[in-house]
Structure 1
Amino acid sequence: MRKNKVMRTVAALALAAGTMTTVTATQAQAAEAAAVHGCNSGHVCLYPGAGWNNDRPTHTYYRYGAHNLRGMYGTYRIFNNQTGGATMRTCTGYNGTGCQGYLPAGQYIDKDMTPINSITLQP
């Protein structure tokens, strides 16, 4: 009798673990589906060159505000995968000074980053 109770408990735990694995996999799949060219939803991603770098961004930014850049020379593809109409800007100075234009959500641009020293993300 005790052995049957133990077996039922083990079976119930195995079923619960399987359910949790399924939920986790589904959440991961949903997050992956929201990624475009390897850039997660809500992020701004930079790719070296004028292409998608096999969907592997080398730099990603998520928080609003200024982000200083280092060692970025030549052309990069900048993809704004933010949501809710958030924009991003490139800036010639550090800490978000000397900013130019706005890149709307869902858009990308190929830009020479040599004179760019920071970017800003704003709602």
Structure 2
Amino acid sequence: MHLLGTRTARAAATVSTAVALTLAPLAGSAHAGSEAATVHGCPSGYVCLYPNASWNNDQPAFKWYRYGSYNLSNQYGYKRFFNNQTGDAKARNCLGYNGTNCQGNQRAGTWYDYDYTPYNSVKLEP
């Protein structure tokens, strides 16, 4: 009888783990519970741009750390934009150069795929 009870407990634990993994959020948030972690090749505190609408084997094309504006050139089509900053720091895509005519405020810990054809700069803000 003890063997049957052990098998039942193991089966219940396996089902519980599978259910917990299935319910975990996937899209839009990439933090795994630690704000001090490198996620998909993007170090904590950075904003990263990937060369396409994927994690690109954890190889961002750009990594930005300091608040301010960063001009882009020859960036077209869909790319993944990941704000791995901490706290309330924001990241924005801008139509103009030097962080002008910016669109939206992407919160820290989130990622989205954007068409970069109209964008000419990225701006990081506290």
TM-score (norm 1): 0.72
State which of 67, 77, 80 in structure 1 corresponds to 2:80.
Answer: 77
1:59-70 to 2 correspondence within 5 Å?
A: 59-70=62-73
Map residues 10-89 of structure 1 onto 2, 5 A cutoff.
34-89=37-92
How many angstroms apart in 2 are the aligned matches of 1:49 and 1:56?
Answer: 11
Q: 1:39 and 1:66 mapped to 2: Cα distance?
A: 18
Larger radius of gyration: 1
Q: Deviations over 1:50-83 (max 9, x none)?
A: 1100011011100101111111111110000001
Match of residue 109, structure 1, among 94, 112, 119: 112
SS in 2 for 1:34: coil
Root mean square deviation of aligned Cα: 0.9
* Paired letter, 2:57: N
- Deviations 1:83-113 (CA, angstroms, capped at 9, x unpaired): 1110010000001111010100000010010
Runs of 5+ unmatched residues, structure 2: 1-35
* Structure 1 unmatched runs, 5+: 1-32
Query: In structure 1, how many angstroms separate the alpha carbons of the residues matched to 2:65 and 2:53?
Result: 22
- Percent identical pairs in the alignment equals 60
Higher fraction of helix? 1
Alpha-carbon distance in 1 for matches of 2:87, 2:97? 26
Equivalent runs, 1:85-100 vs 2, <5 Å: 85-100=88-103
Runs of 4+ residues deviating >3 angstroms: none
Q: Whole-Å Cα distance in 1 between the matches of residues 118 and 92 of structure 2?
A: 13
Tell me what 1:26 maps to: none
Aligned residues: 91
